[in-house]
Amino acid sequence: MREEKLQELLNSLSMTEKIGQLVQVPGPVLEAQGQELGIRDDLGISEEIIRNVGSTLNVVGADQIRRVQKAYLEKSRHKIPLLFMADIIYGFRTVFPIPLALGCTFDPKLLKELCAATSEESVAAGAQVTFSPMADLVRDARWGRCLESTGEDPYMNGRYAAAMVEGFQEGLQEERAGKGMASCVKHFAAYGAPEGGRDYNTVDMSERRLRQEYLPSYKAGVEAGCEMIMTSFNTVDGIPSTGNKWLMDDVLRKEWGFEGVVITDYAAIAELIAHGVAQDAKEAARLAMEAGVDIDMCTGCYANNLEALIREGAIDEAWLDRAVMRVLRLKNKLGLFEDPFRGADAAREKEVFLAPGHRALAREAAVKSMVLLENKEELLPLSGEDFRGGKKIALIGPFADNRDALGMWAIHGDKSAVVTVKQALSEMLAPESLACAEGCETLLEEDYTDLTAVYAQTGKSAWNPEKRKEEMERALALAAESDVAVLALGESEIQGGEGGSRTKLTIPGDQMDLLRRVRKCAKKVAVLLFCARPLVLDEVKELSDALLLVWYPGTEGGHAVCDVLFGSREPEGRLSMSFPRSVGQMPLYYNAFSTGRPYDGRTPIRFFSRYTDCANTPLYPYGYGLSYHRAAYGPVRLDSRTLNREGEITVSVEITNESGRAGVETAQLYIRDVTGSVVRPVKELKGVCKVFLEAGEKKTVSFRITEDMLRFYGKELRYESEPGKFRVTIAPDSSREPEEEFVLV
Ligand code: BGC
Ligand code: BGC
């Protein structure tokens, strides 16, 4: 439809019909019949608005979407199709590793590919918009939603956000191709920095830090063309995002030129009342409208108040029109006026759900996101021949054969398709080479406040003392008979994700006890760690010969684990977040500001910026990961020590594969701005290059440095570089100090 036609359509709408376009309701509300009408009543939205709502969320499935859309259009005067949005975060039926794991791939192109694959499955299931990517920067492992972030680095997060938007939206611009879905970047802004790591808690930081570190990833998503932005639950400088005009209008619309749709997070307009910035739903609706929020997700605030606010002159009808027009434009871009069922096709679902290509991509992504944290005496890779020739593996732990280990947001995933570690190992080993035991439960009551309630809801129950004892003993007996005990341990699904904040970053339940006891009786111990966030692993590090971080690895997790365990593939991941020594170090991140009393880690004097009971450094730094090959980085070389504003200099390093195995290095460029008008971080990642090295091969890796890479928000909050000294290094992780110096003139 042409823009003029859309304008005519807008002009023909009644006030109620317009307001309807800005209201989003959960699926069951639309289909409410009989007893389900209760949900509708809770929302308090009139029948008339419900008939005219513009969008719904988390209704998926070709047949269901066709049915809901058809029923909706039959009752609709103008036949404006309903928009279907969903939380499709890291895969649809095929589930990929969690985003924090994907952040360890340092491979934005791979993320683009898997988002395109996700989009293909989702479009067949009728989804039109996904609430992804989450571009929130994370630095505090206590926050459960670290799971959904790509990590702690602004530069990488920006590249990942852009790649994900491009992947989801691939083909969207080709008119009526029915390919790609609209991507919604969230949660704008700074949702990843709640105080104390407690979800939905206050976020408060300087504008400089916000702009320098937190906003760039959302901006990268906007520049990549995302069609939608979601507000966050938190405050930004005292004002909740959902009513924050500076954020939504000045920054997002005016500075960045965003023309797409702004949607609230779930019920966030009503939450302005709980925040204490609006006295009632009407004031909340006004604040959101003034801020430039288009769609109200799942409250009655817009539905029940916009008309009165316009009538009273508190808001301008032109704002309403502008918001409605944005929604109509998105529908038009998606081709819904031509085909309201856009792509929803049950036959196509069968073709693309869990398609072999998607499964292969899931396996690839899992391999590339696993991080080898320890490998003492090169226990890994295990030799397949040894284990086909009589040696024994004891696979032990609550994640050995666990189909639930997908992370909280895999809500559309097909659990029955998940390949567990046990299953994958049984495919390759003879039965006599593999013994398996759960050993213990994932969680005990002391680990999770609401465990009893969760068990009541899910019909599960805790093991009784006899079972606990028996299972533990059985596992220990298997470990004692084995050549290698492979322990699949980790965090429970319910400890991470939204609302999954923790104060202890331990492996819960009896699992540490299991590990300690297995250590005593097994010859070798390899730990596979399943989790959604960095954990404190000091003891695990001591107790294991090999420690492989597998995160929640998705549908093909088991196969990927086998690929890495037996060395048909190398673990390629490098940490996307620093792993702490102690939870008391939170927030912990490599790119911290320099202090007036930096500590060198050695001098036994207390008057430095340090802890008296723990090192400042992480246990495993950002960017860290071992490989099966072994590479050495030579000294860093610069082709000039002077960088002119319009010019460039080249920094390079020679990397030598000193081992007899080929492998991939993830070379990382870090720069430190030595002196600025404001305090600068001790180092910042400015480039990454993955390079393949044959056994014994040497390669030179180079990066160009240009002035624009050195810009930051200085004293006057202008984004520009300042002349002076910089230090630079190219390193395998963030622990190396920038060594070579150059001057920007
Ligand atoms: C979450 C969002 C999600 C939305 C819709 C909220 O609770 O914060 O990330 O997209 O629900 O399900
Ligand atoms: C302390 C001050 C003290 C000053 C002089 C500094 O190290 O921070 O509180 O007054 O020394 O002794």
Query: What are the boundaries of each domain within the chain?
Result: 3-349, 368-583, 631-744
Q: What is the pLDDT of residue 40?
A: 72
Instruction: Name the band, by pLDDT with cuts 50, 70 and 90, for residue 456.
Output: very high
How far apart, in whole angstroms, are the C-alpha atoms of residue 173 and residue 604?
62
191 lines ligand 1 (CB under 6 A): no
- How much distance in Å is there from the Cα of 209 to the middle of ligand 2? 29
Q: What is the pLDDT of residue 187?
A: 98
Nearest CA to ligand 1 atom 5: 266
The CATH superfamily label for domain 3-349 reads Glycoside hydrolase, family 3, N-terminal domain (3.20.20.300)
Nearest CA to ligand 1 atom 6: 266
Options 3.40.50.620, 1.10.3720.10, 3.40.50.150, 2.60.40.10; CATH for 631-744 is: 2.60.40.10
87 lines ligand 1 (CB under 6 A): yes
- Report the residue among 57, 60, 84, 87 best suited for mutation to probe ligand 1: largest number of ligand atoms under 8 A from its CB: 87
For 368-583, CATH gives 3.40.50.1700
Please confirm, yes or no, whether 265 is among the known catalytic residues.
yes
Q: Which of the residues 265, 345, 401, 563 is marked catalytic?
A: 265
Alpha helices in 435-537 (DSSP H): 451-458, 465-481, 511-521
What's the token pair of residue 420?
Answer: 């567990």
What pLDDT digit, counting tens, does each position of 205-230 carry? 999 999 999 999 999 999 999 999 99
498 lines ligand 1 (CB under 6 A): yes
Q: Is the CB of residue 394 less than 8 Å from the CB of residue 437?
A: yes
- With the CA atoms of 321, 326, 329 and 334 taken in that order, what torsion angle do they form, in degrees rounded to the nearest 10? -140
Mean pLDDT for 563-585 is 97
Q: What is the pLDDT of residue 31?
A: 78
- End-to-end alpha carbon distance in the chain: 53
What pLDDT digit, counting tens, does each position of 370-385 carry? 999 999 999 999 998 9
Is it the case that residue 736 has pLDDT exceeding 60? Answer: yes
- How much distance in Å is there from the Cα of 63 to the middle of ligand 1? 24
Q: Give the ligand with the smallest distance to the CA of 58.
A: 1
- With the CA atoms of 77, 79, 85 and 91 taken in that order, what torsion angle do they form, in degrees rounded to the nearest 10? 150
Q: Is the CB of residue 21 less than 8 Å from the CB of residue 328?
A: yes
Instruction: Name the band, by pLDDT with cuts 50, 70 and 90, for residue 43.
Output: confident
188 lines ligand 1 (CB under 6 A): no
